[in-house]
Amino acid sequence: MFNLKALQKNKTVKYGVPMLLDPSLEAKVNLEKQSVMLEEEYEKMKQVNLDQWKNIRGPRPWEDSKEYQEQQRTRQNKE
């Protein structure tokens, strides 16, 4: 009829079905609160002045991060 091993390997069955069968998990995830948080973040982003924004590169893996940060701070203070 059906292959049990194939069902066990199926990601939908393995991860999706337990989520649908667990109402306590749904109670923990408050979707209404998340949507309110997204709206608040959107309002904050609307107020940000992007015209004065500068892209500052982070240190490379082979660079000393503290030394690089000091260089960036001195460059910002000069401007």
User: Number of folded domains in the chain?
Assistant: 1
- Quick one: DSSP state of residue 55? -
Residue of 76 and 33 predicted with greater confidence: 76
Residue of 29 and 5 predicted with greater confidence: 5
Residue linked to tokens 């408050």: 30
pLDDT digits (tens, 9 = 90+) for 18-71: 767 676 666 666 555 666 778 888 888 888 888 887 777 778 888 888 888 888
Backbone angles phi, psi at 57, to 5 degrees: -75, 140
- Quote the domain boundaries for residue 19: 4-78
Residue of 40 and 4 predicted with greater confidence: 40
Q: Are 27 and 19 in contact (CB under 8 A)?
A: no
The pLDDT of residue 26: 63
